[in-house]
Amino acid sequence: MKSFKEYLTESTKVYEFKVKIAGEHQSDVATKIKAALGEFEISSCSAGKRTPIQERHSEFPEHRNVHMTVYDIATNYPCTSKQIQDKLCAIMNISHASVKVRSMAEEKEMMINHQYDKLSGQALGGTMQEPSDNSDLVGEKHKMNFLSSLTHERHQGTQVKGFNDEILARSVPGLAKEYRKEKQSTVEKAHRSPVAKRPDDIGAKAMESR
C-alpha cells in the first residue's frame, strides 16, 4: 500500500514550458534559468538543444542567419510565460526579441494553428505590393460589371404541365410553340361573336346560293 507521501508526490502538478533563445548566448544558461526561476521551484531543466543556422526562423523572423537553442523546463508553482521571459531577459541581459517562452498548452495551440501553413520563404513585411485601387471590388466599376453580368444570367424553372405552363411558355424549349397555338385558338373562340360569321363562311354560303 502506498504511503500518503507517495500519493501526494504522484498528485503534484508541474507546469511545463519551452524556452527558446536566438543566437549566441552564455554557456551556463541552464544554471541561470534555475537561479532566475527559484521562486517557482524548478523541478527540471533540460540541456539546451541547438538547431542548425537558418536564414530566418519562424520563431524569430526579425533575426537572420542565426541558430536557436531550446530548453524544456518545469516548475512546481504556477507562473506565466511572460514572467519567465522577463526574468530570463533580466538575468541574461538580452532583449525580449531574442527569447520566446511558451507553456506546453500554448505550444500545442501554435502547432494546430500553423499545421497547414505553406512557407513561401518570402517576407510579407516590407514587401511592395502591386498598385491597385481595388475598383473591381467596390465603386462604379464593380457596379457596372455586376449589372452587366445580370444580362448574361438565365434562370429557367422546371415546367410542370397543368400548373406553370403559362409562366414558362416562352422559355421552355418545345412548349412555347404548342402553347402559343393553343392560346391563340382559345382567344379566338372567346372573342368570336355568336351571331357574326367568319368571312370564309359568308363566302361559302354565297357560292351555294348561285
Residue where a domain stops, chosen among 90, 107, 124: 107
Q: How far apart are CA 110 and CA 52, in angstroms?
A: 21
Mark out the alpha helices in 56-103 (DSSP H runs): 81-92
Q: How far apart are CA 169 and CA 163, in angstroms?
A: 11
β-pairing, 64-66 with 68-75?
A: unpaired
Beta bridge partners of 74: 16, 44
For each of the chain's 210 residues, which pLDDT tens digit applies?
A: 667 666 555 567 889 999 999 888 777 888 888 888 888 988 888 888 888 888 877 788 888 888 889 999 999 989 999 999 999 999 888 889 899 999 988 888 888 887 777 766 666 666 666 777 777 777 787 788 888 877 765 655 566 666 666 666 555 555 555 555 666 666 566 656 555 555 555 555 555 555
Would you state the pLDDT for residue 71?
92
For residue 82, what is the domain's CATH number? 3.40.1310.10
Total of domains in the chain: 2
For cell 397555338, name the residue.
Answer: 181
Would you state the pLDDT for residue 85?
92
Query: Are 88 and 19 within 8 A, CB to CB?
Result: yes
* Domain membership of residue 60 as a residue range: 4-107
Same domain, 20 and 103: yes
Same domain, 29 and 97: yes
- Kindly state whether residue 18 falls inside one of the protein's structural domains: yes
- Kindly state whether residue 128 falls inside one of the protein's structural domains: no
Would you state the pLDDT for residue 192?
64
Would you state the pLDDT for residue 102?
92
- Kindly state whether residue 53 falls inside one of the protein's structural domains: yes
- Kindly state whether residue 129 falls inside one of the protein's structural domains: no
Residue where a domain stops, chosen among 107, 140, 156: 107
Query: pTM above the 0.75 mark?
Result: no
- Kindly state whether residue 66 falls inside one of the protein's structural domains: yes
